[in-house]
Amino acid sequence: MQRIVPCPKASTPLRPLHDRDASRQLEQRLAATLPPHTLMRRAGLAVARLAMAWQPHAQRIVVLAGGGNNGGDGLVAAARLAQDWPERDVAVWWLGDPERLPDDARWAWQHARAANLTWLQAAPDSPPDLVIDALLGLGLDRPVQGTTLAALRWLQACPAPTLCVDLPSGLDPNTGHWWADTPAQPVAARATLSLLTLKPGLFTGLGRAVAGETIWFDDLGAQADPTTAAAWLVTSAGWPDAAALRADHASHKGSRGDVLVLGGALPAAHAGVGMGGAALLAARAALRAGAGRVYVALVGEANQIPPWDAGQPALMLRSAAAALDSDLPERATVVAGCGGGPGMATLLDTVLARSPRLVLDADALNALAGRTDPDPLAQRRARRWWTVLTPHPLEAARLLRTDTASVQRDRLAAARTLAERWHAVVVLKGSGSVVAAPGLTPRVVASGSGWLATAGSGDTLAGLLGARLSALPWPAPPEDLLAAVADTVALHGTLPEHWPHRWPPTASDLLP
């Protein structure tokens, strides 16, 4: 058994994520080579062990078990808990129908009936010390109904710590969609033990909100085939390497890569609405992440440009017109859009045509979404230039001409479609950011938390990506570009983790 999040090591390899079909195929293949019920026996044992390791003082334990094999795992765990810790009070609230049990679950039910368990017919009168959620697992692919829904409502509102078996009940394994009309976020602390495979839905969409702070994994002895992975999970970041930069004695500021941030509309340029801070946040992040020289081109007249950024005087400020009148668009990695306002629409063509390394964020994405020509990035693709798009779900919806709910309903699919449509590496931001590139298996980034849900944290990410692209040897195979972008998103997710205060960090606290 391994802990997946929070990630225990500074550097861990990618892990394959398998969807419902791939997980079922693996289960069938493995089960055919083992004595009957071996996998369910292993699953129940793993659940029981983790339950007692996580909540060693729990006296009253309720196992909420559904009528399928997820419930079967719960029943085996209940029997095991009662056997190994006979002083505990283990009760089972089982919603199964003896007439309609799958084979493994029938065996588990018979096994549990022989154990010293209390059988509940309804929710317990008072909250227990621990709940084991084995109501629904891999089998859920439609809205939860009937008595199962009533039990799920109790579960979501129950104040007891809850250990979810394989998946939190109500969560779609493939997408992280929430299938019930109850609030997805539970009221109590949670942990989830994923069995046999890790599923993508645990890490994106509502997965992180529903599964709890800690996600564990037990492969039950299976070796999942990585070629059937729906995505790869990124749990740690290997960049920037400050020690390596220090040891690079032959480096100079010109060898460390240039970044040009184009955005930050000044109030006079945009009907009194100023967004210069967005560009400064991106630029400061690029500088902090090791870029040799960072230029900020603000949208406004030359006489409106502030002489310097007092918080980071190393940044070089100028007007957008002056920057575009130089060779910076060709020479630097261009991060365009952060706080750029509607003025980005007129600047977009220039950077698309001139900048081989380009990150498009915020208003640059809105400008792109508003284009009516069929394929504005086709020429960039033909030249093998790098384009990275960093939409949040609403920007993604604009680019896909759909709505936010449809994007969030299946984030992996949305990111893949965006990557193919725009011939770009796409970072679909949000809980479990998805990083996709044409023709490659996408990556899901496990780092990140609600502490990033603050204005400007996306600008920080755009700046980090600028620095990363400027440091990447040119040309690079598409796999390397995808890996570098995903690694940068993973780094961004870890930035607030060591924040020491009682109050949450702001975007400028992320990289002080």
Ligand X SMILES: NC(=O)C1=CN([C@@H]2O[C@H](COP(=O)(O)OP(=O)(O)OC[C@H]3O[C@@H](n4cnc5c(N)ncnc54)[C@H](O)[C@@H]3O)[C@@H](O)[C@H]2O)[C@@H](O)CC1
Ligand Y SMILES: Nc1ncnc2c1ncn2[C@@H]1O[C@H](COP(=O)(O)OP(=O)(O)O)[C@@H](O)[C@H]1O
Binding-site residues for AMP? 429-433, 458
Q: Does 43 bind ligand X (CB under 6 A)?
A: yes
Q: In what order do the strands lie in the sheet with 60-65?
A: 2-5, 214-218, 190-195, 162-165, 130-134, 60-65, 89-94, 118-120
Beta-carbon contacts of residue 475 (< 8 Å; ≥ 6 apart) = 384
Residue 168: alpha-carbon gap to chain centroid: 17
Site for ligand Y in 360-389 (CB under 6 A): 362
Instruction: Tell me whether residue 71 or residue 337 sits nearer to ligand Y (CB atom).
Output: 337
- The residue to which tokens 């993973």 are assigned: 490
Q: Are strands 443-445 and 434-436 parallel, antiparallel or unpaired?
A: antiparallel
- In the three-class reduction of DSSP (H, G, I as helix; E, B as strand; rest coil), residue 357 is classed as strand
Residue 102, classified by CB atoms within 10 Å of its CB into exposed (0-12), middle (13-18) or buried (19+), is middle
504 binds ligand X (CB under 6 A): no
19/8 Cα distance (integer angstroms): 24
283 binds ligand X (CB under 6 A): no
Binding residues for (6S)-NADPHX: 69-73, 137-143, 166, 278, 339, 392, 459
Q: What, of ligand X, ligand Y, none, does residue 455 touch, CB below 5 to 8 Å by kind?
A: ligand Y
Cα separation, 316 vs 318, whole angstroms: 7
CB of 411 to ligand Y, least distance (A): 11
435 beta partners: 427, 443
Asked if residues 446 and 435 have their Cβ atoms less than 8 Å apart, the reply is no
Q: Quote the CA–CA distance of 248 and 163 in Å, as a whole number.
A: 48
The dihedral over CA atoms of 176, 193, 53, 448, expressed in degrees to the nearest 10, equals -40
Q: Which is nearer to ligand Y, 370 or 450 (CB)?
A: 450
Q: At what angle do helices 411-422 and 393-400 cross, to 10 degrees?
A: 50
Chosen residue from 19, 73, 258, 363 binding ligand X by CB under 6 A = 73
Least separation in angstroms between residue 14's CB and ligand X is 23
Of 67, 212, 343, 496, which one interacts with ligand X (CB under 6 A)?
67
The one segment of 173-181, 315-323, 447-455, 475-483 that binds ligand Y by CB under 6 A: 447-455
Q: What share of the chain is helix, strand, coil (3-state, %, to 5)?
A: 40, 15, 40
Contact between 211 and ligand Y (CB under 6 A)? no
Q: Pairing state of beta strands 333-336 and 357-360?
A: parallel
**Sites for ligand Y among residues 416-435 (CB under 6 A):** 429-431, 433
**Cβ atoms of residues 136 and 192 within 8 Å:** no
Q: Is residue 95 helix, strand or coil? A: coil
Q: Which does 142 bind (CB under 5 to 8 A by kind): ligand Y, ligand X, none?
A: ligand X
Question: Rounded to the nearest whole angstrom, what is the least distance from the CB of residue 376 to ligand Y in the complex?
Answer: 21
Residue 401, number of CB atoms within 10 A of its CB: 8
The answer to whether 102 contacts ligand X (rule: CB under 6 A) is yes
Residue 391 C-beta: closest distance to ligand Y, Å: 8
Residue 372 makes CB contacts below 8 A (sequence gap 6+) with none
User: Could you say whether residue 449 binds ligand Y (CB under 6 A)?
Assistant: yes
Among 392, 398, 411, 443, binds ligand Y (CB under 6 A): 392
Binding residue numbers: 69-73, 133, 137-143, 166, 169, 278, 339, 392, 429-433, 458-459
- Smallest gap, in angstroms, from Cβ of residue 200 to ligand X? 14
N residues, the chain: 512
Binding to ligand Y by CB under 6 A, coded x per residue (else -) over 473-492, reads: -------------------x
Q: Please report, as residue ranges, which positions from 133 to 152 form the binding site for ligand X (by CB under 6 A).
A: 136-140, 142-146, 148
Stretch that binds ligand X, among 37-45, 255-263, 271-279, 406-414 (CB under 6 A): 37-45
Considering only residues 373 through 392, tell me which ones interact with ligand X, judged by CB under 6 A: none
Select from ligand Y, ligand X, none the partner in contact with residue 309, using the beta carbon and a kind-dependent cut-off of 5 to 8 Å: none
65 is a contact residue toward ligand X (CB under 6 A): no
Residue 440's binding partner, choosing from ligand X, ligand Y, none, with beta-carbon cut-off 5 to 8 A by kind?
none
User: Which one of 7, 22, 65, 71 is in contact with ligand X (CB under 6 A)?
Assistant: 71
Which one-letter DSSP state was computed for residue 164? Answer: E
Contact assessment for residue 357 and residue 383, using Cβ atoms and an 8 Å cutoff: no
Q: Given the rule CB under 6 A, which of 148-156, 288-296, 443-451, 479-487 is the region that contacts ligand Y?
A: 443-451
Nearer to ligand Y, 204 or 470 (CB): 204
**Tokens, residue 187:** 């009221």
505 binds ligand X (CB under 6 A): no
C-alpha–C-alpha distance, residues 253 and 230, integer Å? 41
Residue 287 CA to residue 309 CA, distance in Å, equals: 13
195 touches ligand X by CB under 6 A: yes
Q: Can you tell me the distance from the alpha carbon of 237 to that of 247, in angstroms, rounded to the nearest whole number? A: 20
Please choose which of ligand X, ligand Y, none residue 430 contacts, taking the beta carbon within 5 to 8 angstroms, the exact cut-off set by kind: ligand Y
459 contact choice in ligand X, ligand Y, none (CB below 5 to 8 Å, kind-dependent):
ligand Y
Q: Select from 437, 375, 381 the least CA-distant residue to 412.
A: 437
Q: Which of 113, 453, 474, 480 binds ligand Y (CB under 6 A)?
A: 453
Residues that bind ligand Y (CB under 6 A): 362, 392, 429-431, 433, 448-450, 452-453, 455-459, 461, 492
Residues that bind ligand X (CB under 6 A): 27, 31, 39-40, 43, 66-71, 73, 102, 104, 136-140, 142-146, 148, 165-166, 195-196
